[in-house]
Amino acid sequence: MASDLNLVAAIFAPLALACAIGWIIYARRLPARDTEPDGPAGPTGGTTEAGHEAGPALPAPATASSATQELAEQILGGHRRALSRGITLVESRHPRDRAAAAGLVQAVFANAGTAIRIGISGPPGVGKSTFSEAIGLHAIGQGKRVAVLAVDPSSTISGGSILGDKTRMERLGRSDNAYIRPSPSGGLHGGIARGVRESVTLCEAAGFDVILIETMGVGQAELAVREVVDLVALLVQPGAGDNLQGIKRGIVEIADFILVNKADGDLKRAAELTVGEYKRALRLMSPPSASWKPEVFACSAVDGTGIDHAWERIQAFEAATTSDGSRDDVRARQAAEAVWSYVNLALRESFRDVHAESQSDVAGWEAEVRSGRMAPAAAATALLDMMRDGRIATGTAG
């Protein structure tokens, strides 16, 4: 009986979170009125500042324990080791770390949001780490503090990652105004690592005002970086003909800048031709932002050619999207969509936890799928029915 209750709790905890978050988003989407408020706002009823009747009390944000609060204060003070410990916490997959991670992010949240967030994508071998170092050093020369979050793909067999990006940014790593954090993808698709959004928040709270997110570089799976950055810089190789076919349309459509790297030596002419190819291709695509027309130019992260121009155009993008409010709009949309990403991930992990720990029929769906007796879609529907109805085993009510 006790194990059954534990199963129910494990399944329904994320559902309760989803309901609470859904109400928050619904409440925020209520249209504002131009009239003066009729009374003070109240968390449990009465009238809101916009003149609406207040709904039921919403759950308070996660609060930090004394140890987590101390860690938050150290991060706000710019302590690097504390920042690394914080990122380790938000990347953790252990259920016991979830509450602490949420409390930590909430504790520093008011001090984040001021940095420009730049996604650096491109195929393996294009020079993403070299470019990150070059643009990072240039930004530091302009008085900025730079954090690099570099993602390495995790093995589907061992789950491990090489985490070699930091060794490729040795000069940047020696700067007191730079912080480099290699992270494993953890098997997540989309080119970015688990907890990257929270890692950005922690880096901003620690005082870094340029955040570079270097994706793991596996082609079309890179699209998720668009949901955590202000702009995407896509790096491509010099060459002719097959470049566009190799990169594919999807990743090109989300790019605000396409940089033809390695434009030096014998490849300089090929890089110029590649710039022309991408400029022509972009005429057939819709820009990712109404405030900015994507730009294409050549650069060399090795000898520094074009790096100053790249930084100048990044600043121009930031100025354009900040002044017209589109950056804030994009970040608000990203945050709202991230809520449901977190809920989906929590639900999936909760089901996995139940499957791993349970000896009851809750875990039987996988055996049915493996044996070919049940389609995956039918098994997923059965799991959701169990969650919704509170059933512990197929065909029985809890």
| Domains of the chain with bracketed CATH | 62-111 (1.20.5.170), 112-324 (3.40.50.300)
pLDDT at site 50: 39
Confidence (pLDDT) at 151: 81
Q: In what order do the strands lie in the sheet with 295-298?
A: 178-184, 146-152, 210-214, 116-121, 231-236, 257-260, 295-298
Question: pLDDT class for 223, splitting at 50, 70, 90?
Answer: confident
CA-based radius of gyration for the chain: 24
Higher pLDDT, 74 or 12: 74
Mean pLDDT value of segment 99-109? 94
Neighbours of 9 (CB within 10 A): 11
Higher-confidence residue of 391 and 73: namely 73
Which of these ranges, 103-112, 137-146, 238-247, has the smallest mean pLDDT?
238-247
> 61 falls in which pLDDT band (50, 70, 90)?
low
**243-268 pLDDT per residue, tens:** 555 455 677 888 999 999 999 999 99
Supply the pLDDT for residue 153: 54
130 confidence band (pLDDT: 50, 70, 90): very high
> Residue 28's pLDDT is what?
41
What pLDDT is recorded for position 209? 96
pLDDT bracket for residue 198 (50, 70, 90): very high
Q: Calculate mean pLDDT across residues 95-122.
A: 92
pLDDT of residue 300: 97
Across the range 314-325, mean pLDDT stands at 96
Q: Give the pLDDT of residue 386.
A: 77
Per-residue pLDDT at 85: 97
Spatial separation of the C-alpha atoms in residues 7 and 364, rounded to whole Å: 14
Helix axes 196-205, 80-91, angle to 10 degrees: 160
For residues 201 and 38, what is the distance between their CA atoms, to the nearest angstrom? Answer: 37
- In which band, very low, low, confident or very high, does the pLDDT at 317 lie, cut at 50, 70 and 90? very high
Residue 159: is its pLDDT beyond 50? no
Q: Does residue 36 carry a pLDDT above 50?
A: no
Q: Assign 23 a pLDDT band (cuts: 50, 70, 90).
A: very low
347 vs 47 pLDDT, higher one: 347
Which range in 7-21, 79-93, 275-289 is most confidently predicted, on average pLDDT? 79-93
Is the pLDDT assigned to residue 355 strictly greater than 90? no
Using 50, 70 and 90 to split pLDDT, how confident is the model at 354? low
User: Is residue 393 over pLDDT 60?
Assistant: no
Count of alpha carbons within 13 angstroms of residue 313, beta-carbon side: 21
Of 390 and 109, the structure prediction assigns the larger pLDDT to: 109
Which residues are bridge partners to 147 per DSSP? 179, 211
Query: What's the mean pLDDT in 76-84?
Result: 96
Other CB atoms within a 10 A radius of the CB of residue 346 amount to 17
Query: Mean pLDDT over all residues of the chain?
Result: 77
**81-95, 139-153, 183-197, 301-315: least confidently modelled range:** 183-197
Asked whether 380 and 362 are in contact (CB, 8 A), the reply is no
Q: CA–CA separation, 9 vs 25, rounded Å?
A: 24
